[in-house]
């Protein structure tokens, strides 16, 4: 929750600054709105640096894209690996690299698919496909939450806010699907249709040894301990603890000083 709040705050601040610098009509007509907003901001503050605004935004966009693609690649590849372990994808996807332990077959397949789609489609069409598939995925996830709540009979033990969240998610996902143009919908449905044979021809047979490894609690705890220090939320937690400690020391000094004065 904390990490999502930090990221959401960054996005909101960026949008507030962009709309404060330039009218929305200019931003809508621009092909590079962030670069134009950065150039306008630097023009008013540091005119000498204004010509470099486009390069700065381009470098920032490349770094941001690399980070997003890295996280997306890791998550998607392990999703394909988990599906193969459960028997919902070809068993070849469950192969791990003998040295690095990564699902390299899924990574190769994912890279080849992404390259083919990138060569065929444009940036706008790829964004529409991503938004459409995201909406479908979120819609199915929210439906699964409601179905699992009914099966496990936990609906009465959750709060009012938790009850509303899946329905709000359904509405948001439906809006994402509706907002995509008809070309994006057709392209997305075509890609989903290409994946149907893979699902229908899957062995429907679990791999017990791989599944036990995947679900082992000891490995999950080891992964959490090894990587928790790298998350932004962990750094923020340390920062909050440091501030609280400083306040506690200040309060202790004030209390001790007051005690001395009273004595």
pLDDT in tens, 200-250: 888 877 777 777 766 654 456 555 555 555 555 555 666 667 777 777 665
Q: Are 191 and 80 in contact, with CB atoms under 8 Å apart?
A: no
Only one residue has tokens 């959490």, namely 224
Report the pLDDT averaged over residues 180-185.
86
Q: What is the pTM of this model?
A: 0.61
**Which pLDDT value is given to residue 223?**
57
Percentage of the chain with pLDDT > 90?
9
Distance, in Å, from the CA atom of 226 to the CA atom of 130, rounded to the nearest integer, reads 31
Distance, in Å, from the CA atom of 161 to the CA atom of 153, rounded to the nearest integer, reads 17
Distance, in Å, from the CA atom of 94 to the CA atom of 246, rounded to the nearest integer, reads 50
Only one residue has tokens 């070309």, namely 183
Distance, in Å, from the CA atom of 95 to the CA atom of 109, rounded to the nearest integer, reads 12
Query: Model confidence at 172, in pLDDT bands (50, 70, 90)?
Result: very high
Distance, in Å, from the CA atom of 232 to the CA atom of 53, rounded to the nearest integer, reads 27
**Strand spans (E) along 66-216:** none
């Amino acid at each position: 929750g904390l990490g999502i709040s930090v990221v959401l705050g960054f996005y909101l601040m960026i949008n507030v600054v962009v709309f404060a610098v330039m009218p929305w009509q200019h931003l809508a007509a621009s092909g590079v709105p962030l670069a134009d907003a950065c150039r306008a901001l630097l023009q008013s503050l540091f005119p000498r640096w204004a010509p470099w605004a486009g390069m700065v935004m381009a470098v920032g966009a490349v770094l941001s894209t690399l980070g997003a693609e890295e996280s997306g690649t890791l998550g998607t590849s392990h999703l394909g690996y988990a599906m193969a372990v459960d028997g919902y994808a070809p068993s070849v996807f469950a192969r791990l690299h003998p040295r690095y332990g990564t699902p390299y077959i899924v990574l190769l397949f994912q890279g080849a698919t992404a390259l083919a789609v990138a060569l065929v489609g444009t940036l706008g069409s790829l964004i529409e496909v991503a938004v459409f598939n995201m909406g479908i995925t979120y819609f199915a996830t929210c439906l699964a939450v409601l179905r699992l709540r009914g099966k496990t009979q936990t609906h009465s033990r959750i709060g009012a806010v938790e009850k509303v969240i899946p329905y709000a998610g359904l509405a948001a996902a439906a809006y994402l699907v509706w907002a995509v143009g008809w070309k994006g919908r057709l392209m997305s449905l075509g890609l989903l249709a290409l994946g149907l044979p893979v699902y229908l021809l899957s062995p429907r047979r679990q791999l017990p040894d791989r599944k036990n490894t995947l679900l082992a609690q000891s490995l999950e705890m080891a992964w959490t301990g090894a990587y928790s220090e790298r998350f932004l939320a962990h750094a923020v937690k340390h920062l909050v603890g440091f501030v609280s400690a400083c306040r506690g020391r200040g309060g202790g000094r004030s209390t001790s000083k007051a005690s001395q004065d009273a004595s």
